[in-house]
């Protein structure tokens, strides 16, 4: 009887061991969250192996993955450090970072050009996502995200008008001290869940080109990557996000 118990304990111990992907994932999250900032030194491969309880070649393989992703670099005399230009994260990943760390922005990240307005929704996709009839009123919240002063993303939130019953400040043209969805959940007791994120390429509008500070002749079309995601509560869809990324920007997509 004792032998099976020891075997089971051994199997559980082995199941807890980290692989190179686990090690890479742990440091990747710290970089995306801003816990590790551009220029910060990482521990040596030997130190990482000891800390994570893995073989040295496992830690080295994890670092190789992060280097291939452009997140870390090796510098003479400085060892391995976080890259100066890490990837720009998407809106949903930014939300995950906020939930994990409580920080809205990473090092060098800021928001400018905030605008809030009430508009009649005529976009077929948004009407479909929010279950609206064309012409129904929505709240638009628009802002431009910057990394080290350079615009990288235009974020558009289209909020169902019913949200203003419980969170009227979402329609006010001012910075909200907290993410409005959290206020909504606290005041209504209804959880908001996130739908599937999708991506597509399309031509940028002139407003988007202006926000991204792209100077293109009127007769030249500029392609941009756009991601979409819709949020729901038990009543139905309540918010649709659209993030427009500047040409050349690299963004990570979580599996």
* CA 155 distance to own-chain centroid: 11
- 193-194 and 223-233 as β-strands: parallel, antiparallel, unpaired? antiparallel
Are 78 and 111 in a shared domain? no
- What tens digit of pLDDT does each residue of 26-44 get? 998 888 777 888 888 999 9
Q: Range with the lowest mean pLDDT among 68-72, 85-89, 224-228?
A: 85-89
Q: Which of 147, 156, 179 is nearest to 230 (CA)?
A: 156
CATH of the domain at 205: 3.40.1410.10
- What tens digit of pLDDT does each residue of 146-205 get? 988 899 999 999 999 999 999 999 999 888 888 999 999 999 999 999 999 999 999 999
Are 63 and 96 in a shared domain? no
Q: Is residue 223 part of a domain?
A: yes
Q: Is residue 254 part of a domain?
A: no
- What tens digit of pLDDT does each residue of 124-141 get? 999 999 999 999 999 999
- What tens digit of pLDDT does each residue of 40-75 get? 899 999 999 999 999 999 999 999 999 988 889 988
Q: Is residue 111 part of a domain?
A: yes
CATH of the domain at 17: 1.10.10.10
The structure's pTM equals 0.75
Gyration radius from the chain CA atoms: 22
Structure tokens at 48: 């990482």
Are 231 and 180 in a shared domain? yes
Q: Which residues pair with 79 in a beta bridge?
A: 75
Choose the final residue of a domain: 48, 82, 116. 82
Are 59 and 96 in a shared domain? no
CB of 243 closer than 8 Å to CB of 95: no
pLDDT score, position 56: 93
Half-sphere exposure of 215 (CA within 13 A, CB side): 0
Are 98 and 78 in a shared domain? no
Q: Which of 83, 110, 81 is nearest to 94 (CA)?
A: 110
For 62, the domain range is 2-82
């Amino acid at each position: 009887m004792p032998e099976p118990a020891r075997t089971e304990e051994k199997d559980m111990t082995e199941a807890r061991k980290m692989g190179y992907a686990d090690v890479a994932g742990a440091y990747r999250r710290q970089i995306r969250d801003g816990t590790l900032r551009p220029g910060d030194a990482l521990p040596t491969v030997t130190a990482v192996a000891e800390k994570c309880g893995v073989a040295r070649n496992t830690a080295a393989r994890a670092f190789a993955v992060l280097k291939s992703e452009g997140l870390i670099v090796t510098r003479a005399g400085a060892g391995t450090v976080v890259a100066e230009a890490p990837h720009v994260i998407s809106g949903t990943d930014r939300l995950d970072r906020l939930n994990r760390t409580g920080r809205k922005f990473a090092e060098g990240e800021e928001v400018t050009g905030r605008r809030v307005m009430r508009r009649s929704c005529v976009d077929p996709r948004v009407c479909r996502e929010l279950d609206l009839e064309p012409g129904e009123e929505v709240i638009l919240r628009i802002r431009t995200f910057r990394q080290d002063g350079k615009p990288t993303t235009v974020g558009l939130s289209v909020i169902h008008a019913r949200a203003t019953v419980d969170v009227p400040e979402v329609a006010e043209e001012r910075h909200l001290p907290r993410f409005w969805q959290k206020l909504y959940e606290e005041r209504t007791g209804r959880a908001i869940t996130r739908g599937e994120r999708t991506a597509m390429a399309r031509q940028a509008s002139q407003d988007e080109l202006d926000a991204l500070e792209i100077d293109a002749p009127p007769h030249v079309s500029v392609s941009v990557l756009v991601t979409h995601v819709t949020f729901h509560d038990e009543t139905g869809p309540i918010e649709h996000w659209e993030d427009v990324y500047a040409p050349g920007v690299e963004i990570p997509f979580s599996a």
